Chains A and B, each alone.
Chain A
Amino acid sequence: MDSPVLAIEHFSAGFGETQVLKDITLSVLPNRVTALMGPSGCGKTTLIRCINRMHELTPGATTSGRILLHGEDIYARNPILVRKKIGMVFQRPNPFPTMSIYNNVVAGYILNGIALKRQEKDRIVEDSLRKAALWDEVRDRLHKKGTFLSGGQQQRLCIARALAMNPDIMLMDEPTSALDPKATAYIEQLICDLKKNVTIILVTHNIAQAARVSDYTAFLYLGELIEFGTTEKMFTVPQDKRTEEYLSGKFG
Chain B
Amino acid sequence: MLQAPTLSEKKRSINDMNGTGVLLRIFKDYLFQTAVIVGSITVFVPLLLILGYIVRNGIAAVDWQFLTGPPRPIGEPGGGIANAIIGSAMLIVIASIIAVPIGIATGIYLSENRSSRAAVIVRMCIDILQGIPSIVVGIIAYAWIVVSSGTFSALSGGVALAFIMLPVIIRATEETMNMIPDTIREASLALGVSYTRTVLKVLVPAGVSGILTGILLSIARIAGETAPLLFTSFGNPYMSTDIFKPVDSLPHIIFNYAISPYPEWHTKAWGAALVLIVFVLGLNISAKILTRRWTVRF
The answer to whether A97 and B191 have CB atoms under 8 Å apart is: no
| Interface-lining segment among B137-145, B180-188, B256-264 | B180-188
Q: For the complex, what is the distance from the CA of A82 to the CA of B224, rounded to whole Å?
A: 53
* Most B CB within 10 A of own CB, among A57, A90, A111: A111
Q: How many A-B residue pairs have CB under 8 A?
A: 75
B189 CB, min distance to chain A CBs, angstroms = 7
Given contacts A111-B197, A112-B197, are A97 and B297 in contact (CB under 8 A)? yes
**Alpha-carbon distance between A249 and B144 when the two chains are bound, in angstroms:** 74
| Interface residue? B205 (CB, 8 A) | yes
Chain B proximity mask over A104-117: 1 for CB below 8 Å, otherwise 0 = 00011011110000
Contacts of B208 in A (CB 8 A): 98
In the complex, the answer to whether B188 meets A96 with C-beta atoms within 8 Å is: yes
Q: Which residues of chain A in 78-125 are interfacial with respect to chain B, using CB atoms and an 8 Å cutoff?
A: 80-84, 87-88, 90, 92, 94-98, 107-108, 110-113
Cβ of B215 < 8 Å from any Cβ of A? no
Query: Which residues on B sit within 8 Å (CB–CB) of A84?
Result: 191-192
In the assembled complex, the CB of B131 is this many whole angstroms from the nearest CB of chain A, namely 31
**Considering the chains assembled together, what is the distance between the CA atoms of A108 and B191 in angstroms?**
5
B residues in contact with A110, CB < 8 Å? 201
Interface residues on B, range: 20 to 34
- Check if B184 sits within 8 Å of A96, measured CB to CB: yes
- Does any Cβ of B come within 8 Å of A54's Cβ? yes
Per the bound structure, the CA–CA distance linking A215 and B187 in Å amounts to 27
* Chain A contacts for B187, CB-based, 8 A: 90, 94-96, 158, 161
Q: Is B298 an interface residue (CB 8 A)?
A: yes
CB distance from A227 to the nearest CB of B (A): 28
Instruction: Tell me the residues in window 169-206 of chain B with beta carbons closer than 8 Å to chain A beta carbons.
Output: 181, 183-184, 186-194, 197-198, 201-202, 205-206
Specify which chain B residues have a CB less than 8 angstroms from the CB of A161 in the assembled complex.
Answer: 187, 191
In the complex, are the beta carbons of A90 and B183 less than 8 A apart? yes
**Chain A residues with CB under 8 A of B194:** 80, 112
- 12 A-B pairs besides A83-B189, A98-B202, A111-B188 with CB distance below 8 A are A81-B192, A83-B192, A90-B190, A95-B187, A97-B296, A98-B206, A110-B201, A111-B198, A112-B191, A112-B192, A113-B197, A161-B191
Instruction: Write the residues of chain A forming the contact surface with B, with a CB cutoff of 8 angstroms.
Output: 52, 54, 57, 80-84, 87-88, 90, 92, 94-98, 107-108, 110-113, 145, 147, 158, 161-162, 165
Residues of B within 8 A of A (CB): 181, 183-184, 186-194, 197-198, 201-202, 205-206, 208, 296-298
A and B contact pairs by CB, cutoff 8 A, 16 listed: A54-B189, A82-B192, A87-B190, A87-B191, A88-B190, A90-B183, A90-B187, A96-B206, A98-B206, A111-B188, A111-B193, A111-B197, A111-B201, A112-B192, A112-B197, A161-B187
